[in-house]
Structure 1
Amino acid sequence: MVRPFRIPWSHLLLLLGLLGPPSGAARPQFNYTEPQLPVFELHSGFWINLHHTLYSEARQRRAFLSRDANATKSTPPKSVLAAKGLTDAEQKAWDDAVAYYLVNYADKDLLFTTELIQLKDQLGDFEDCDELSGRKRKFCDAGLPPNLTQVLEAAAPVYRAHLWTEHDQANRRWILQVAPLVREQGVGLSERLADIYQTRWPHEKIRVDVVAYANWAGAYTTVGPLRVTISSLDPRNQGPQAFEVLFHEGSHGIAETVQTAIIRECRQRDKPIPRDLWHALVFYTTGEVIRTVLASSSVSRADKLKGAPGNGYDTYAFREGLYQRGWKNYLELLQRFWQPYLDGKASFDDAIARMVSSL
């Protein structure tokens, strides 16, 4: 008996989006959401991608302008829209938008500035609207400052016509790459990480905004609400590391217990609170757990993700040299005292106490 071949509707939409519009056709503002996964809800949204693209370009211009022009003969950074054949009006609209971001946002951090966190969340919430002012549809009034609304709505047609399709396709490819492992391993992995941190994984799915450009790290997580932003173009977020980065960022929502325990132990022992030990621990934990998951995953065995699975997996922190850039002592502590806890040979409190006592 031949079974009918069925493609899930969400996957069909994703594949159709990857094909893109025919050459010369008008480019509509399609957004994509992958809702049929456990643990995470993955989005490719227009406004949040435009926002991060403008921020990225403004940051590059700020870095160039901050250099001593007389001491260096470097050329100005090339715009992401260079060689895209913009009209004079389009070029002006884009330059005005980048200039606005340069003045208002380029010196602020996406992760630590409340204003930018709120702006990111608002733009994500209004991804299904083709405007932000509410002139055409009242429920599309995003409540942004009038000047910012004007800037984004002026830049939107330029981005939509010349760059959005390219960015959206990259985002969808990234989602298509990571979805099989999330579907197969997501629930078990989230429960394992929650057990390690002695807490619970969030009941609601964590929203993940996949964007062409994120921040300097390639991904970041904000809380209240808990949301993850990941770059689909960043080379650090490709292959099996994409899966690790996704769960590392998600772990920021449950790792407060570790940070609290380290601080408490330091105060009891009258020791300085170690900078970034908790973050090194989260990198180490996610990497080691992912290594085990990839070793047993049918997705990895089928080579649906490029890279060495299982025991040969090169975890993100090792691959990117994080331990060599100031965390070497932390790595030694983690391997000596935290790994036994991961292996079930020590308690959480004992592992934390031994690490802090050895600082």
Structure 2
Amino acid sequence: MSIKHISLLIITMGFSMSACGKTNSLEPIAVTEKYEFYSNFWINQHHFLYAKASSAAKGNWDDGFTENELDKLSVGEAQILKDGITFYRDSVISYSLTFNRGLTILKRTLINFDEDDVFEMDDFHDELVEHLNKVKPVYRKYFWGEHNRSNLEVVDNHLEFITTHESEIFDRISGLAQQPWREEKIRVDVTYYANWAGAYTSNNPQVHVTITSQDDGKGDWQELIFHEPSHSIMSSRSFKAAELISKVSEQLGVEPPESLWHALLFYFSGVSVQEAFKKEGVEYELYMVRYNVFDEYHPVIFKYMPDYVQGDTSFEEALKKVIAEYEQY
């Protein structure tokens, strides 16, 4: 067991043994060759409010809670939480956590604040900042302990797999995508709630992954932790995969298939993680197969891309077959 793994175990045990223990939101809970993992109070509270507001989008403010989850709150605390969730419902959740520039800037700002800080953000929505600060004591008292423990545990559960295989998986994905990685470490904010997909990534100025700590144990978490940063080397318009898709589509006289790049990202990252699991004697089914992600591309991807993955043909030649047959559907 590595020193880093032992350190994380100590952090986790220390937190679980003391109800008043807390994680420094500004310090990583684990550092590997490729990643820095954080359990940041403010990022977690922001996603908590976003998730609960999304659950309440068409009903009552407390629809996202279980029957007894709010029983311990005082009337005043419940009102503060209601006001915060209602504000998020009415003013925030219509914007995408993944694509909205304002919410991306908010996320990048929140990571600079520790649990005991008062959140401040100039030239931003004053009411949002006000609700984040008002909800803080309620969230910290009733929800943060469980969420932080979950964050620590999921990293601890998968840290050995990550440290053992991260270099080979990164090299494999980069080779398949024909695109080099950035040199800096990837920041991962582990949050009890994330977005609807369970994880998302922003790429500027740093590759920054947000991923849920709610793990079903099927291998999703391991695949997504490698899938998400791959968005920094594969996209709809930039990098080698998009370039080849456009080139081949033009040669065939068709429009580039929408989201084919993303289906390939799922395939490349999934196959790379699958190969790592195989080395440990574990049979692993790709995320995109289990959840029918971009299933319209499955017949052609699984027919023609294995030859590329195995080194029997080029990326471009495989794409020609994929796109030509897909256009016949």
Q: The TM-score by the shorter chain falls in which range?
A: 0.7 to 0.9
2:196 equivalent in structure 1: 216
Match 2:289 to one of 286, 305, 318: 318
Mean CA deviation greater in 153-162 or 187-196? 187-196
CA distance in 2, matches of 1:169, 1:145: 31
278 and 6 in structure 1: CA distance in 2 versus 1, 3 angstrom threshold: closer
Judge conservation of contact 1:220–1:230 (CA < 8 Å) in 2.
Answer: yes
Shift of 1:127: 4.1
Root mean square deviation, CA, Å:
2.4
How do residues 140-151 of structure 1 correspond to structure 2 at under 5 angstroms?
144-151=124-131
1:205 aligned onto 2:172: no
What TM-score does the superposition give when structure 2 sets the normalisation length? 0.88
192 and 76 in structure 1: CA distance in 2 versus 1, 3 angstrom threshold: same
- Deviation track 1:171-215 (CA, whole Å, cap 9, x = no partner) reads 111111111111111011101111111111221111111111111
* Runs ≥4 residues deviating over 4 A: 26-30, 141-144
1:77 aligned onto 2:63: yes
Match 2:213 to one of 221, 225, 232: 232
Shift of 1:10: 4.1
CA distance in 2, matches of 1:35, 1:169: 14
Judge conservation of contact 1:218–1:234 (CA < 8 Å) in 2.
Answer: no
Shift of 1:254: 1.1
Which ranges in structure 1 are unaligned for 5 or more consecutive residues?
Answer: 66-74, 134-140, 302-308
2:59 equivalent in structure 1: 64
CA distance in 2, matches of 1:350, 1:13: 50
1:286 equivalent in structure 2: 269
Judge conservation of contact 1:38–1:182 (CA < 8 Å) in 2.
Answer: no
1:265 aligned onto 2:262: no
Judge conservation of contact 1:221–1:227 (CA < 8 Å) in 2.
Answer: yes
CA distance in 2, matches of 1:273, 1:187: 32
CA distance in 1, matches of 2:167, 2:22: 35
CA distance in 1, matches of 2:218, 2:17: 23
Judge conservation of contact 1:27–1:160 (CA < 8 Å) in 2.
Answer: no
How do residues 163-174 of structure 1 correspond to structure 2 at under 5 angstroms?
163-174=143-154
CA distance in 2, matches of 1:334, 1:195: 17
Judge conservation of contact 2:150–2:214 (CA < 8 Å) in 1.
Answer: yes
Mean CA deviation greater in 45-54 or 85-94? 85-94
CA distance in 2, matches of 1:322, 1:7: 33
Judge conservation of contact 1:55–1:106 (CA < 8 Å) in 2.
Answer: yes
How do residues 77-96 of structure 1 correspond to structure 2 at under 5 angstroms?
77-79=63-65, 82-96=69-83
143 and 127 in structure 1: CA distance in 2 versus 1, 3 angstrom threshold: farther
CA distance in 2, matches of 1:168, 1:144: 27
How do residues 1-359 of structure 1 correspond to structure 2 at under 5 angstroms?
8-17=6-15, 19-22=16-19, 26=20, 28=22, 30-31=24-25, 33-64=28-59, 77-79=63-65, 82-127=69-114, 130-133=117-120, 144-224=124-204, 225-233=206-214, 235=216, 238-256=217-235, 257-297=240-280, 309=282, 312-322=283-293, 327-328=295-296, 330-358=297-325, 359=327
Tell me, what secondary structure is at the counterpart of 1:229? strand
Mean CA deviation greater in 102-111 or 56-65? 56-65
Equivalent residue letter for 1:15: M
350 and 128 in structure 1: CA distance in 2 versus 1, 3 angstrom threshold: farther
CA distance in 1, matches of 2:47, 2:143: 13
158 and 143 in structure 1: CA distance in 2 versus 1, 3 angstrom threshold: farther
What TM-score does the superposition give when structure 1 sets the normalisation length? 0.81
Judge conservation of contact 1:212–1:231 (CA < 8 Å) in 2.
Answer: yes
Tell me, what secondary structure is at the counterpart of 2:209? strand
